[in-house]
């Protein structure tokens, strides 16, 4: 089968599409025939060596939508099931940017019924990150929340999920994105003019760090999206950062919200698997709204 990998670190040109063996599922695993797989910033980080792994051939891709093709023992999934899944891991021999991928059965959820595979592939990593970050914040509806990077994939899901919970969301994004983030459910918008200590909580999807921490009121809460990279606590503000986990049951809840029209799946463009390097180059240009998706 074909798979996108990196054997040496660098820019988009470092991405190779190679021939490799089809992986076999073990106990409590399933093999998915990939219909679509989103490209995320974490893939660019893996490609450029941010997470290490020098000297290894590293597979790319975390998100997948497709069809169960084979199963190991002790799994409730059947061949032919249409599914989505998160294949967690930054340094792995194969990822979801391939024709087939093996994942743990507990990472899998039934695919949305209301959208195709290309859109479904944009859900797992970013929506799970958003909902797990909101869990970390632990907000009740009367609390105020600022979401930075609200027009991005994680930020956009965070806005929709928080608004669905009845939380008053202020979206921080570029001025040109105001209509977009308001359509996602933001009650308020700012392009950067934020008073210090003015929100009960900040979900920092834009990775602004200390600058965003200043916008949290004394005793409030801050959640980042890069594990262990949150700023130190000040003024009694509780700080933390989500490390996304593959959670099929939680992913199934997010799929239900897609089918109910609560979550919007945004595709910025599609590329053939053989064009993986070209997709990385487009991501590196910036300004992508939604996710680029690879189709084997």
Among 228, 193, 198, 192, which Cα is nearest to 213's? 198
Same fold, 2-123+265-295 and 126-241: no
Rounded Cα–Cα distance for residues 245 and 266 (Å): 22
Strands 291-295 and 267-272, bridge-based pairing: parallel
Rounded Cα–Cα distance for residues 162 and 249 (Å): 19
Spans of all domains in the chain = 2-123+265-295, 126-241
Average pLDDT over residues 259-268: 97
Among 122, 99, 119, 98, which Cα is nearest to 38's? 122
Please, are residues 274 and 132 in contact by the beta-carbon 8 Å criterion?
no
pLDDT, position 287: 87
Mean pLDDT across the chain: 97
Tokens of 237: 């503000």
Within a 13 Å sphere around the CA of 28, how many CA atoms are in the beta-carbon half? Answer: 4
Indicate the SS3 state at residue 231: coil
pLDDT digits (tens, 9 = 90+) for 227-246: 989 999 999 999 999 999 99
Residue 144 region by backbone torsions, left for phi larger than 0, else alpha for psi between -120 and 50, else beta: beta
pLDDT, position 95: 98
Please, are residues 116 and 265 in contact by the beta-carbon 8 Å criterion?
no
Tally of CB atoms within 10 A around 123 = 28
**In whole angstroms, how far apart are CA 140 and each of 134, 167, 196?**
10, 7, 22
Share of the chain above pLDDT 90, in %: 97
Please, are residues 182 and 171 in contact by the beta-carbon 8 Å criterion?
yes
Kindly give, in sequence order, each residue whose CB lies less than 8 Å from that of residue 253, ignoring residues fewer than 6 positions away: 131
Kindly give, in sequence order, each residue whose CB lies less than 8 Å from that of residue 21, ignoring residues fewer than 6 positions away: 1
Indicate the SS3 state at residue 240: strand
What CATH architecture does domain 126-241 belong to? 3-Layer(aba) Sandwich (3.40)
Quick check: 186 pLDDT over 90?
Answer: yes
**CATH H superfamily, domain 2-123+265-295:** Medium-chain alcohol dehydrogenases, catalytic domain (3.90.180.10)
pLDDT digits (tens, 9 = 90+) for 269-288: 999 999 999 999 999 999 89
pLDDT digits (tens, 9 = 90+) for 51-63: 999 999 999 999 9
pLDDT, position 185: 97
pLDDT digits (tens, 9 = 90+) for 46-98: 999 999 999 999 999 999 999 999 999 999 999 999 999 999 999 999 999 99
Quick check: 193 pLDDT over 90?
Answer: no
Please, are residues 104 and 28 in contact by the beta-carbon 8 Å criterion?
yes
Rounded Cα–Cα distance for residues 160 and 156 (Å): 6
Quick check: 192 pLDDT over 90?
Answer: no
């Amino acid at each position: 089968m074909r798979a996108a990998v990196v054997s040496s670190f660098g820019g988009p040109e470092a991405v190779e599409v190679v021939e490799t063996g089809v992986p076999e599922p073990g106990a409590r695993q399933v093999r998915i025939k990939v219909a679509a797989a989103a490209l995320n910033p974490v893939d660019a980080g893996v490609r450029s060596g941010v997470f290490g792994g020098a000297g290894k051939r590293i597979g790319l891709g975390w998100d997948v939508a497709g069809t169960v093709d084979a199963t190991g023992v002790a799994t409730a999934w059947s061949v032919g099931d249409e599914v989505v899944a998160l294949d967690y891991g930054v340094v792995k021999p194969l990822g979801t940017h391939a024709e087939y991928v093996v994942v743990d059965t507990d990472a899998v959820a039934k695919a949305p019924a209301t959208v195709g595979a290309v859109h479904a592939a944009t859900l797992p990593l970013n929506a799970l990150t958003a909902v797990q970050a909101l869990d970390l914040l632990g907000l009740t509806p009367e609390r105020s929340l600022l979401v930075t990077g609200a027009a991005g994939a994680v930020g956009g899901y965070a806005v929709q999920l928080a608004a669905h919970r009845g939380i008053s969301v202020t979206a921080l994004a570029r001025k040109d994105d105001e209509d977009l983030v308001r359509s996602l459910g933001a009650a308020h918008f700012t392009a950067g003019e934020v008073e210090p200590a003015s929100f009960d909580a900040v979900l920092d999807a834009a990775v602004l760090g200390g600058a965003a921490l200043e916008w949290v009121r004394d005793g409030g809460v801050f959640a980042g999206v890069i594990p262990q990279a949150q700023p130190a606590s000040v003024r009694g503000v509780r700080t933390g950062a989500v490390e996304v986990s593959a959670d099929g049951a939680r992913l199934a809840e997010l799929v239900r919200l897609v089918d109910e029209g609560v979550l919007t799946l945004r595709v910025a463009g599609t590329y053939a698997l053989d064009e993986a390097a070209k997709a990385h180059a487009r991501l590196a240009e910036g300004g992508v709204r939604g996710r680029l998706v690879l189709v084997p």
